[in-house]
Amino acid sequence: MYFNETPRVYKGHTISIDMVHDDGDCIKWDWCVEKPDGTVLYPGVSPYNRDYELLEKWIDAGYPRRISLCTLREDDLDKIILEKETS
């Protein structure tokens, strides 16, 4: 854990930081999500965002894969959630 952070639980999922890369100029976080059934997932979300709410949106969006070569950003997840709600 980075800075001794405790994993967070959201809708039965355990969200944690798997690894931190700090080269002095920037910090990147590799996220890990354990589903209620024990399956471990490594979300393709922005590694520069340390906001747990981003992972909560990723869970709400249904564990989407990357849309392109780029990682998913918050606005991508908002669009996916909106599409799910309106379909």
Per-residue pLDDT of the chain (87 residues; tens, 9 = 90+): 445 578 999 999 999 987 777 888 888 888 899 999 999 999 999 888 888 999 999 999 999 998 778 889 899 999 999 998 998
pLDDT given for residue 55 in this prediction: 94
pLDDT given for residue 76 in this prediction: 92
Pairwise CA distance, residues 55 & 39, whole Å: 16
Angle CA 37–28–77, to nearest 5:
55
Pairwise CA distance, residues 47 & 30, whole Å: 6
